[in-house]
Structure 1
Amino acid sequence: MRQIILAGHGDGCLGMKQSTEMILGEQTHLYAVSLSSSESAQDYHKRLHSLIDKSRKNGNDELWILTDIKGGTPGNVATLIGKKEKNITVISGYHLAMIITACTDSHITANNLIEETNKMIKKII
């Protein structure tokens, strides 16, 4: 099963994980690694990489890291790791519909995930 890590600034990714689990129930393949304002990029790298190693030890090959914004520290660190590791996909700009779809559709590709869930963003009024 694909493992999914939410990487973001502050508690935003923790809240997204909680919201996803409120809707879907517990997701044993979904993790969140939040960057605190007092944390260095190097420390964040260590924590994120440690979680990736733990996931890999459980025999999980495919890993997606969904980040809050492109160019931020969580996204930059995820990209650095993704360039060095096998079977890691990094996607920036997550939103709740994207996370839910990634958790529930094990056959969707990263490109299709982006295409399909961006269609869900609409101006209502």
Structure 2
Amino acid sequence: MALILMSHGDMAVETLKSAELIVGQLPETVALGLHESDGPDTLKAKVVSEIEKYYQKEPIYLLVDLLGGTPGNVAVNLTQDYPELHVISGLNLPMVLNYANQMFIGEEIKIADIMNEGKAGIVDVNAFINADASEDDEDE
């Protein structure tokens, strides 16, 4: 399995660094960022180089930051040439950690689990704390 993270700026690079700080090095994983000096063709060339290392040898998961942005558009367009490429938008740290956990225990990657983990990581902490405090009040 291979994982490619792609974003505007260094979000993907820093997300990978954060994930590896938590779980250790992630093999067959790379992060690419789009910078002001880059255009879509530059980013496409970088990601195609990574895809070619693994395509039709093992599954490739491409996580992008934003659907409709340049990295997302490049990824969507690549599915024309690489129909087995799995593209997921909404890149965040919980998604990468979930991928890592599935990979490390040797499971087949479940895209729904990656997406659910990403969504579950979005929490209104104040509302969570207040709900917990309300439950404590009810117990008294």
TM-score after normalising by structure 1: 0.89
1:54 equivalent in structure 2: 53
1:33 deviates by 1.0
Structure 1 consecutive aligned stretches of length 4 or more whose deviation exceeds 2 Å = none
Identical positions, percent: 28
Runs (5+) with no aligned partner, structure 1: none
Distance 1:103 1:60, change over 3 A: farther
1:5 equivalent in structure 2: 4
Over aligned residue pairs, what C-alpha RMSD do you find? 1.5
Q: Distance in 1 between matches of 2:91 and 2:16?
A: 11
Q: Distance in 1 between matches of 2:29 and 2:57?
A: 12
How many residue pairs match? The answer is 122
> Relative contact order (alpha carbons < 8 A, sep ≥ 6): 1 or 2 greater?
1
2:74 equivalent in structure 1: 77
Structure number with the higher helix fraction is: 2
1:117 equivalent in structure 2: 118
Bigger-Rg structure (1/2):
2
Q: Distance in 2 between matches of 1:108 and 1:123?
A: 28
2:133 equivalent in structure 1: none
Q: Name the SS of the counterpart of 2:4 in structure 1.
A: strand
Runs (5+) with no aligned partner, structure 2: 127-140
1:41 equivalent in structure 2: 40
1:30 deviates by 1.5
